[in-house]
Amino acid sequence: PADLQDRRVEITGPTDRKMVINALNSGAKVFMADFEDANTPTWANLMEGQLNLADAVRRTIEFTSPEGKAYRLKDQVAVLFVRPRGWHLPEKHFLVDGEPVSGGMFDFALYMVHNAKELLARGSGPYFYLPKMESHLEARLWNDVFNFTQDALGVPRGSIRATVLIETILAAFEMEEILFELKEHSAGLNCGRWDYIFSCIKRFRNKPEFILADRALVTMTTHFMRSYSLLCIKTCHRRGIHAMGGMAAQIPVKNDEKANEEAFTKVRADKEREATDGHDGTWVAHPGLVPTALAAFDAVMKTPNQIDRKREDVQVTAADLLKFGPEEPITEQGLRTNVSVGVQYLESWLRGSGCVPIFNLMEDAATAEISRAQVWQWIRHPRGVLPDGRKVTKELFRRVLQEQLAEIETWVGPERYRKGKYGEAAELFDRITTDERFVEFLTLPGYERLD
């Protein structure tokens, strides 16, 4: 479609009213409205989100803050994509034959029924991001759902376009097959870097030869991460489709010029690497990063995309995808950061907010997943050892958990701490980290606690 040729910067975020307006106005080419990792799937969040998107599609969305500030859409806005939940999450408020329906199908169906014809009448279309896929068979299922829905609604087949997030290690081995299954509905692939790291830890957690260092050290320039992004570019461009780069989670740092400059330097380097490698666009989490990301791509990409750069020089093997590292150091600070980020994220998620600024990064469920998965594995792996020789154990983890809770209380103040859900978040984080059985997704036990 014409409005999907140029996707050089995409902004992502939850579906609350003010965020939707700000993201559409941000100057990014695409806004991905997120019902998945940046959203707590409470019934209120889901219903209000769908309402906000329906208003956005019709260009009638407005918002006035409690302080009286008015928000409305500019003339030029981003193209709208929607990310429904993954196949693993149910929707317990909507039963069919007494069983909860798939959360992702529910999000998709509501958006399609209310907006598909309106979008097509406006010269756009229903565009989606599909998360957490592990196999081309899941892509085939989505394709069947797409065809069924288009026929049922009386819109032409191929109206729906979907970009698949390659954010599991298994999907990295099936990029070609996934694109094939979605054929006329495909809008390329995206490197979902944080969930990808989580997936690697999850799938190889019991292998004695597998361990990863502090998560801050597992960057896109490490061998296995770089291999997967280059393979994504080569695969997509061979098929004449977009290969999207990963998320810059940094957010502008207020009142600290040096930290702010460091954050923007990291984003700039990350986006320049993606543009130079051949990505057709990239993700940011905050409107303040849009100009930096745009500049990086504008400097390299003079056309709407780089699909004509075939990257035949790239030779990525299965061994490259599995050459994990770095394996050390595993530091006490890394352990503390994992525990602190995990608890702070879960606390916010349980309160109904799934997109949380922590330590100047916009965190969503994927970063909390890495945090708890790393700690789970470090406890059980013989090489889960700190530089001073101390083994990461359940006892050490629990001590650090208590210390981090005390630190969080100092930061947020006793009033906010008491009113929050820190105790519940810590209890859940403790349970999924110390349990012998590895919980597939932390949002599943979390969802049981939501109304």
Q: Which residues are catalytic?
A: 83, 364
The tokens 């598909």 sit on which residue? 116
b/e map 321-343, b = 16+ CB within 10 Å = bbebeeeeebbbebbebbbbbbb
How far apart are the C-alpha atoms of 426 and 424, rounded to whole Å? 5
H-type helices in 216-256, by residue range?
A: 223-238
How far apart are the C-alpha atoms of 370 and 328, rounded to whole Å? 16
**CA dist 359 → 102, 259, 344, 352, 362 (Å):** 34, 11, 10, 20, 8
b/e map 15-51, b = 16+ CB within 10 Å = bbbebbbbbbbbebbbbbbbbbbbbbbbeebbeebbe
Are residues 188 and 1 in contact, defined by beta-carbon separation less than 8 angstroms? no
- Kind of pairing, strands 62-64 and 30-34? unpaired
- Kind of pairing, strands 70-72 and 99-102? unpaired
How far apart are the C-alpha atoms of 166 and 195, rounded to whole Å? 9
Are residues 334 and 370 in contact, defined by beta-carbon separation less than 8 angstroms? no
**CA dist 276 → 234, 270, 271, 373 (Å):** 13, 10, 8, 32
